[in-house]
Amino acid sequence: MNTESKTAQLITKLIRETSKGNVTWEVKDAPRSLNSETEQSVPLYLQTEYKGKILGIYDLRAKYYTDVDEYSWSESIGFCIVDKLGRVVWESTEQSPALFDLFNTAREQASGIDDILDDLLND
């Protein structure tokens, strides 16, 4: 089985485990290598520890140059494995609906939006 297929299976499993509350994501500062000395920005980075491994999912915004001084921003979702020193040892930006779903599920959980909305709606 290739890495892409295994990654897709892991993402599906993480969606399921996050939805059940068995995996907890938190907002963290992105690893230095995702932002430093690049033409990209990571405005939101979420991290969890799953089976002893540190996993990250993030909003990736990158400059797309159309000319030497003309560019626009593109946006995608990235998924990575980070070592104990905070270095990205593997990453994937292969876009899929499942990766986007995991990002949204993790972001919703990390934000605590359900509790916030319940508090605001409670009379």
> Which pLDDT does position 22 carry in this prediction?
96
Global pTM?
Answer: 0.87
Residue-number span of the structural domain to which 53 is assigned = 3-121
d(CA 55, CA 78): 11
Those residues of the chain that have pLDDT short of 50 are none
> Which pLDDT does position 3 carry in this prediction?
83
> Which pLDDT does position 119 carry in this prediction?
87
Number of domains comprising the chain: 1
Asked if residue 45 lies in contact with residue 34, where contact means CB atoms within 8 angstroms, the answer is yes
Look at residue 115 and give its three-state secondary structure. helix
> Which pLDDT does position 43 carry in this prediction?
94
> Which pLDDT does position 49 carry in this prediction?
97
Q: Write the DSSP symbol of residue 1.
A: -
> Which pLDDT does position 47 carry in this prediction?
98
Query: Count of residues for the chain?
Result: 123
